[in-house]
Structure 1
Amino acid sequence: IGTVVCPDADVKLYVTATAEVRARRRLAEIEARGGTADYARILADIERRDARDTEREDSPLRPAADAHLLDTSEMDIETAFQAARRLVDQALATRNEG
């Protein structure tokens, strides 16, 4: 989003997690709703989508040069939110100082 949709955003975050973590999270979401799914299939789907999104010609998925990278692989949702909030607050404070 930060490279095409809002390239002039004051603060850009590139939030990521490993494919394995995202597959486990997706499986947990499905199971929490009472559904069933196969971890290996979810992981394969995520890996295919990642490859498609990063390798496409138009607007490939990649962090903007000025984006703050946030790997949430080892974070729960609250920790990830707080980390994102800290990055935004720090970036805005730095910008406002200059």
Structure 2
Amino acid sequence: MAGKIKKGDTVVVLSGKDKGKTGEVTRVLPKEGKLIVDGVNIITRHKKPTQLDPNGGLEKREAPLYASKVAIADPKDGKPTRVRFDTDKDGKKVRVAARSGEKIDG
């Protein structure tokens, strides 16, 4: 994963209950090899009433997902693609979609 998927990237889920869904990465957890994707892998938490939240109730939120279960969406057609690294004219290292050759970084 190391640097291939970053916060703000659009990814496609490859396996599991949310297979085929796309979403934006909201948080990356590199030590665990997981990431949180907006609108994907929704779980329900039962919250006890507290003084701050006297009603309690059910809270729906995104749970972390293994990075191996997602692939970056190709900027050209939105299909899943692998990531390749190239250097641009200025000598900067940039991420490139292996499927179409489009730059992923700006």
> As a proportion of its length, which structure holds more helix?
1
TM-score class, shorter-chain normalisation, is under 0.3
TM-score, normalised via structure 2 length: 0.21
TM-score, normalised via structure 1 length: 0.22
